[in-house]
Chains A and B, each alone.
Chain A
Amino acid sequence: MSEREIDDVTGVETTGHEWDGIKELNNPLPRWWLWTFYASVVFAIGYTIAFPAWPLISSATPGLLGYSSRADHAAEVAAAKAAQGKTLARIAQMPVGDILADQDLSRFASAGGNSLFKVYCSQCHGTGATGAVGYPNLNDDEWIWGGTIDDIYTTIAHGARSPSDTDTRYNLMPPFADGLLDTAQIGSVARYVASLSGIEGGEASPEGEQLFMDNCSSCHGESGQGMIEVGGPSLNDGIWLYEGSLAAIEAQIAQPQHGVMPAWLPRLGDEAVKQLAIYVHGLGGGQ
């Protein structure tokens, strides 16, 4: 519109826009608003000079103040590490059993162990430490290599069947199908083992018992109660590493599977292993 139109009622100029007979008044912005707006623009320009802002091909302009959120994060991590330093030093010095006895230290270690567990252990043992087929559940009171705090510490530190550690927990069950027992004998001893914990299809035949005494009891104990010293799992309870069914027991006797856990001491260090041991011990089955 070339001509300025003045609204009769208010005496204010209109913008010339009209919708269904409704016209928009051209009231000026409040001055404080306008100046705030200009100030924001000036501030924004200053901000983009002082702080990282304009995107370039591989990064962004660094800004005059040299601010970086990564550096902030690194500083915070360093501060947190420094704050933990004293406690971690005590953990490093004390035997793991004494740490467990100290209420404050054990709480600190358990919390640290929890986060370490989520990073390094949960892939096999699960985030709730419930394990899976072939990977032990750490919440229960069944311990292949012992459930005292020192036993747990040793197992984590040196691993199980770890090829890189000479002190690792090590044993091997022979594959009985390779000429040690025939198929009928394997079936008989498997049914006997199943009968120890009342698994469906179990049968405590004298033949099976004899075969068990001759071939299995040296590692698994005469009543199948397990032997922690040699890492022979107990066979007389409801907890099974490779499924508790007759078929699975037969398969494990014929061609046993063996899990491997790395030795964590060289990778994580003593303080971390101690914290993990405290955490795992506190999951409910520690002895």
Chain B
Amino acid sequence: MLSEPPTSQRYDVEPVNSKERRQSLYAPRTKIFPKRANGRFRQFKWLVMLITLGIYYITPWLRWDRGPYAPDQAVLVDLANRRFYFFFIEIWPQEFYYVAGLLVMAGLGLFLVTSTVGRAWCGYACPQTVWVDLFLAVEGFIEGDRNARIKLDKAPWTLGKLWKRISKHAIWILIGVATGGAWIFYFADAPSLIVDVVTLRAPLVAYVTIALLTSTTYIFGGLMREQVCTYMCPWPRIQGAMLDEHSLTVTYNGWRGEPRSRHAKKAIAENKPVGDCVDCNACVVVCPMGIDIRDGQQLECITCALCIDACDDVMDRLGKERGLISYATLADHEHNMALAMGTGKVVQPARIRDRLTGKLVDTIRLTDWRSVIRPRTIVYFIGWTAIGLGMLTALALRSPLSVSVLHDRNPLFVEMRDGAVSNGYDIKVLNMTPEPRTVTLSVEGLPGATLAVTDHPGTGPTSLELPLEPDKVMTLRAYVQVAPEALPEAQTRFIIGVASTDGAVRTQAETTFEVPEAK
């Protein structure tokens, strides 16, 4: 009668940092041995890990046919040739504003996600979280779950312990090497680079990059873990500005959990009020950050939701409804707390449950998906979409040809024997397609002008056919001369146009023709 409920085991665990025992910033690290959780969110996290790691490892190996003059790697950052390839998109360095746009989108996207579902990025998609999860899975596979790991940690150094530790760290380092190894394939042709790397013929920078990322992966994911989030990452600090009372956070619903009781039956027998929380510490023991979610929202919480899984499991076994720990908004939580406390200072379970049925009363607000849609998130979403659409439009409308013209500064103009005036220009014609192309360069809007390009004998007095190499810039030294009878009175604007010979693509640049001042 007085024994604990057989369905819930109490875990002996102390949160690393809690309301009661606030740690100094200089406190040495307390080792955390998170217990493996099972449930919906754990399943979801495995899925996210599979997708994100899959994207990371597989992307460089995807092929994309761009014809004989361009690399066939779908995603490639070609630093040596200053080109960025992303499937059907090719970006030149001067178009880097697309990347800036992507960064703005990423920023706004992070705002959007954080204001709606809180630190979902931290809890599911952040590389630190994903790799720590992976490293913990390895640790669990080799050393066993929480209790076995604590025991092993305290055990004296035996051959068995040594073997387990060596194999764990070896696998961690292997994962690190694979992480750093995958990174370099984004910067060169993956199939040929991997042969070079294995046969030790790759450039030094490839090995340095692998070594660097291997060490950061191993140190951050294996050794530092939660300290990266708590001490190094700026996001926990920014969350204060990003979250509001309508953002979803992992919440301990104290209004139905309190007063928590380790010996519920005894308390009931003594006619004391008893909440749903049996103080089993299952939520603390699974937390990879080693905190107690029942202390409320805190800097360390990455909202991985594993405590929800752990608590739901306990509630199921106790035959109570799930959701003692759940995703909820602060506004709903406070409303429910006020309802549960009434005018008093402690939660009174009788105020939130129907006396006869034991069901929660209707005035309790349970957070649902509707909290996601509100003005703030809509504004973020519109901004995010507008930038995305704007960039797509700009991308679709950009010309595969480009011309830039620089007028000589010294001399501005040259008078010829017959009184004609000549101006010199440096012209660059960009062929931003991976195919060779023949274009016509022409002078337009300048009567009486003739065009002469060094190294390229002309085809007409004002135009010139140029064979452009694929994906290259052609530099030209050009002279435009105007006959004396057609000389303009003053500085004149005119156009240097470039059009493909079939007329499908055209681009132009405006420049000036300078003449001597009237005497």
The verdict on A234 contacting chain B, using a C-beta distance below 8 Å, is yes
The verdict on B245 contacting chain A, using a C-beta distance below 8 Å, is no
| C-alpha spacing A87/B26, complex, angstroms | 65
Task: Flag if B410 contacts A130 (CB, 8 Å).
Answer: yes
Looking at A133-141, A164-172, A214-222, the stretch in contact with chain B turns out to be A133-141
In residues 196-241 of chain A, which contact B (Cβ within 8 Å)?
A: 234, 237-239
Task: Flag if A139 contacts B414 (CB, 8 Å).
Answer: yes
Chain B residues contacting A95 (CB-CB under 8 Å) are none
The verdict on B489 contacting chain A, using a C-beta distance below 8 Å, is no
Task: Flag if A128 contacts B410 (CB, 8 Å).
Answer: yes
Task: Flag if B454 contacts A282 (CB, 8 Å).
Answer: yes
Task: Flag if A239 contacts B417 (CB, 8 Å).
Answer: yes
Task: Flag if B415 contacts A140 (CB, 8 Å).
Answer: yes
The verdict on B195 contacting chain A, using a C-beta distance below 8 Å, is no
Count of interface residues, chain A, beta-carbon cutoff 8 Å: 23
The verdict on B116 contacting chain A, using a C-beta distance below 8 Å, is no
Q: Nearest Cβ in chain B — how far from A156, in angstroms?
A: 19
The verdict on A250 contacting chain B, using a C-beta distance below 8 Å, is no
Interface residue from A106, A237, A284, A285 paired with B418 (Cβ < 8 Å):
A237
The verdict on A127 contacting chain B, using a C-beta distance below 8 Å, is yes
The verdict on A271 contacting chain B, using a C-beta distance below 8 Å, is no
Chain A residues contacting B479 (CB-CB under 8 Å) are 284
Q: Nearest Cβ in chain B — how far from A141, in angstroms?
A: 5
Q: Nearest Cβ in chain A — how far from B231, in angstroms?
A: 10
Task: Flag if A103 contacts B455 (CB, 8 Å).
Answer: yes
SS of A interface (majority): loop
| C-alpha spacing A106/B477, complex, angstroms | 13
Task: Flag if A237 contacts B417 (CB, 8 Å).
Answer: yes
Nearest neighbor of B481 in chain A, beta-carbon distance: A284
Task: Flag if B414 contacts A285 (CB, 8 Å).
Answer: yes
Task: Flag if A238 contacts B410 (CB, 8 Å).
Answer: no
Task: Flag if A128 contacts B455 (CB, 8 Å).
Answer: no
| C-alpha spacing A234/B416, complex, angstroms | 13
Bitwise, B450-467 to A at CB < 8 A (1) or not (0) is 001011000000000000
Given contacts A238-B419, A282-B477, A284-B479, contact A140 B455 (CB under 8 A): no
Chain A residues contacting B455 (CB-CB under 8 Å) are 103, 106-107
The verdict on B375 contacting chain A, using a C-beta distance below 8 Å, is no
Task: Flag if A141 contacts B411 (CB, 8 Å).
Answer: no
Q: Nearest Cβ in chain A — how far from B375, in angstroms?
A: 39
Nearest neighbor of A138 in chain B, beta-carbon distance: B414
In residues 462-486 of chain B, which contact A (Cβ within 8 Å)?
A: 477, 479
The verdict on B254 contacting chain A, using a C-beta distance below 8 Å, is no
Q: Nearest Cβ in chain B — how far from A106, in angstroms?
A: 7
The verdict on B424 contacting chain A, using a C-beta distance below 8 Å, is yes
Task: Flag if B411 contacts A130 (CB, 8 Å).
Answer: yes
Given contacts A106-B455, A284-B422, A284-B479, contact A139 B417 (CB under 8 A): no
Nearest neighbor of B410 in chain A, beta-carbon distance: A128
Task: Flag if B416 contacts A140 (CB, 8 Å).
Answer: yes
Task: Flag if B410 contacts A137 (CB, 8 Å).
Answer: no
Interface residue from A106, A107, A128, A239 paired with B411 (Cβ < 8 Å):
A128
Bitwise, B402-438 to A at CB < 8 A (1) or not (0) is 0000001111001111110010100000000000000
* Residue in B26, B415, B419, B424 whose Cβ sees the most chain A Cβ within 10 Å: B415
Nearest neighbor of A234 in chain B, beta-carbon distance: B417
| C-alpha spacing A28/B419, complex, angstroms | 81
Nearest neighbor of A239 in chain B, beta-carbon distance: B417
Bitwise, B13-39 to A at CB < 8 A (1) or not (0) is 000000000000010000000000000
| C-alpha spacing A137/B411, complex, angstroms | 10
Nearest neighbor of B422 in chain A, beta-carbon distance: A284
Task: Flag if B417 contacts A284 (CB, 8 Å).
Answer: no
In residues 234-287 of chain A, which contact B (Cβ within 8 Å)?
A: 234, 237-239, 282, 284-285
| C-alpha spacing A128/B422, complex, angstroms | 14
Chain B residues contacting A284 (CB-CB under 8 Å) are 414, 422, 424, 452, 479
Chain B residues contacting A130 (CB-CB under 8 Å) are 410-411, 414
Chain B residues contacting A137 (CB-CB under 8 Å) are 414
Q: Nearest Cβ in chain B — how far from A148, in angstroms?
A: 16
* Residue in B409, B417, B419 whose Cβ sees the most chain A Cβ within 10 Å: B417
* Residue in B409, B454, B477, B479 whose Cβ sees the most chain A Cβ within 10 Å: B454
| C-alpha spacing A238/B479, complex, angstroms | 20
Task: Flag if B416 contacts A141 (CB, 8 Å).
Answer: yes
Nearest neighbor of B424 in chain A, beta-carbon distance: A284
Chain A residues contacting B409 (CB-CB under 8 Å) are 128
| C-alpha spacing A142/B419, complex, angstroms | 11
Q: Nearest Cβ in chain A — how far from B398, in angstroms?
A: 30
Chain B residues contacting A234 (CB-CB under 8 Å) are 417
Q: Nearest Cβ in chain A — how far from B473, in angstroms?
A: 14
* Residue in A126, A137, A239 whose Cβ sees the most chain B Cβ within 10 Å: A239
Nearest neighbor of A28 in chain B, beta-carbon distance: B26
Nearest neighbor of A200 in chain B, beta-carbon distance: B519
Q: Nearest Cβ in chain B — how far from A112, in angstroms?
A: 15
Binding site for B on A (CB under 8 A): 28, 30-31, 103, 106-107, 126-130, 137, 139-142, 234, 237-239, 282, 284-285
Return 29 A-B CB contacts under 8 Å, by A number. A28-B26, A30-B26, A31-B26, A107-B455, A126-B410, A128-B408, A128-B409, A128-B410, A128-B411, A130-B411, A130-B414, A137-B414, A139-B422, A139-B424, A140-B414, A140-B415, A141-B416, A237-B418, A237-B419, A238-B415, A238-B419, A239-B416, A239-B417, A282-B454, A282-B477, A284-B424, A284-B452, A284-B479, A285-B414
Beyond A106-B455, A284-B414, 11 extra complex contacts between A and B, CB < 8 Å: A107-B455, A127-B410, A128-B408, A128-B411, A130-B411, A130-B414, A140-B415, A141-B416, A142-B416, A239-B417, A284-B422
Q: Which 4 interchain pairs have the tightest Cβ spacing?
A: A128-B410, A237-B417, A139-B414, A130-B411
